[in-house]
Amino acid sequence: MSPFNIVVFVKQVPDNTKLKPEQLTGNSLPKEGVDMIVNPFDEYALETALRLKEAAGAEAQVTVISLGAASAKEIVKKTIAAGADAAYLLSDPVFLSGDSTSVAYALSGALKQLVPDAKIAVFGTLSLDASDGQTGPKVAELLDWASLTTCKNAEIVDLETLNVWRETERGIEQYTMALPGVICMMKCDYELRTANIKGVMKANKTEIPLKTPAELALEPALVGAAVATSQSENVWPRPAKTAGIKVDGSADAKAAVDKLIAYLRENKVL
């Protein structure tokens, strides 16, 4: 029996809880001189993949693919410590100059080259730095696979079918997905497992191969800035919260409601 291959895509991002206002300049978040972490939504993706691996049986494998600077190697090693079987890092300056379209092309090409028989690709629903939520669906389009976003959980029905639960404005929805397919995980009701000593030792010994566009047989004209269709104009700190207003209706409820409605109309909420 051939392995049941699951691919997880992870990204190294700045820890936005530690960014200072003076660091938020230009059109992207800083990548130098700041703490870097695994994108939190990608941790849910990895834990989902590890659970699917356990459910699929002994022949299942989880492979992690990341695109980023060479420094992302340490972040990728943490996924091995948590339970991934193998990992690759797409690292070349040209990769870093694109947008979600060029990244999706690179990631889909990497999957075809490195794990051609993959059955499931798992993403975080968005990244802290870009926050556009487009990469996973674009990879699915390039692979001609089914895809679902804002997923909360996934369970294997059999080696050709997946049950997926999504969280929408209408509540939780359940879908059945024919494989191969792409799922993009949001915050789940479970967290990424803690790495044990055995996993940490394996991660320390594991060499993370660095892959270039040429090694992945990618078309140069479709990688990086050459194919980018969007760009960020600016980043800035979130405005400070104001004290707001307090409407006291204890003495006259109708007057309080009238005051609140007038305020909402004045601020074009109504």
How do the domains of the chain map onto residue ranges? 4-227, 241-270
Instruction: Quote the pLDDT of residue 152.
Output: 97
Please tell me the class of the 4-227 domain.
alpha beta
Identify whether the C-beta of residue 7 lies closer than 8 Å to the C-beta of residue 118.
Answer: yes
Residue 137: count of CB within 10 angstroms of its CB: 18
Is residue 78 exposed (0-12), middle (13-18) or buried (19+ Cβ within 10 Å)?
buried
Q: What is the mean pLDDT of the chain?
A: 89
Instruction: Quote the pLDDT of residue 150.
Output: 95
Instruction: Quote the pLDDT of residue 155.
Output: 96
Q: Which residues of the chain have pLDDT under 50?
A: none
Instruction: Quote the pLDDT of residue 30.
Output: 55
Q: How far apart are CA 171 and CA 125, in angstroms?
A: 17
pLDDT digits (tens, 9 = 90+) for 40-73: 999 999 999 999 999 998 789 999 999 998 889 9
Q: What is the DSSP string of 52-63?
A: HHHHH-TTEEEE
Is residue 244 exposed (0-12), middle (13-18) or buried (19+ Cβ within 10 Å)?
exposed
